[in-house]
């Protein structure tokens, strides 16, 4: 009986160690993916701040949906390129954003945060706004994160 009890305890301890190390490895992988997604979002913001149209559009998947404020849905990377091209056509347009939250689960993730932009309004007066955004990401077949749903709006 004593041997059975000892064996049961040892098996239980072994299972506990295996489970905790598996959870720890998963947490580390998820944490690494989350950090990678935040860094990618920061790179995207830098591309937009530099008004680099091709680089800005390159973050979108071919089948992305983009929900710009006060405008119709833009479906696909080419439509997203047009949205950003229209913004960049204004010589004084500036934008930057900062990720405040991110989450990853296997091949999907999201980033959300705040943005600031400025431009000349239709009335000729300068506009400066702050807002928030939410972006859903998916890993493609090459393991690269691509934006598949991108939405933002001002805090007005």
Segment 111-149, tens digit of pLDDT? 999 999 999 998 999 999 999 999 999 999 999 999 999
What CATH number does the domain containing 130 carry? Answer: 3.10.450.50
Q: How far is Cα 135 from Cα 153, in angstroms, rounded to an integer?
A: 12
Ranges under pLDDT 50 in the chain:
6-29
CB 31 within 8 A of CB 38: no
Q: Compute CA distances 73 → 3, 83, 110, 120, 124, whole Å.
A: 68, 10, 19, 23, 26
pLDDT at 32: 87
User: Is the pTM value of this prediction over 0.75?
Assistant: yes
pLDDT at 30: 53
Domain assignment of residue 56, given as a range: 2-154
Q: Is the dihedral of CA 125, 156, 101, 84 positive or negative?
A: negative
Q: Domains in the chain: how many in total?
A: 1
pLDDT at 53: 98
DSSP strands (E only) in the chain: 60-67, 74-75, 94-105, 108-120, 126-139, 145-154
């Amino acid at each position: 009986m004593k041997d059975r009890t000892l064996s049961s305890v040892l098996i239980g301890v072994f299972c506990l160690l295996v489970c905790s190390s598996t959870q720890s490895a998963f947490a580390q992988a998820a944490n690494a993916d989350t950090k990678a997604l935040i860094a990618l979002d920061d790179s995207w913001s830098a591309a937009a701040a530099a008004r680099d149209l091709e680089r800005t559009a390159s973050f979108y998947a071919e089948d992305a949906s983009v929900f710009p404020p006060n405008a119709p849905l833009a479906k696909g990377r080419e439509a997203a390129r047009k949205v950003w091209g229209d913004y960049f056509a204004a010589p004084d347009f500036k934008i930057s954003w900062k990720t405040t939250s991110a989450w990853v689960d296997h091949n999907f993730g999201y980033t959300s945060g705040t943005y600031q932009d400025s431009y000349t309004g239709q009335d000729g007066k300068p506009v400066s706004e702050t807002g928030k955004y939410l972006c859903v990401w998916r890993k493609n077949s090459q393991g690269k994160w691509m934006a598949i749903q991108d939405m933002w709006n001002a805090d007005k």
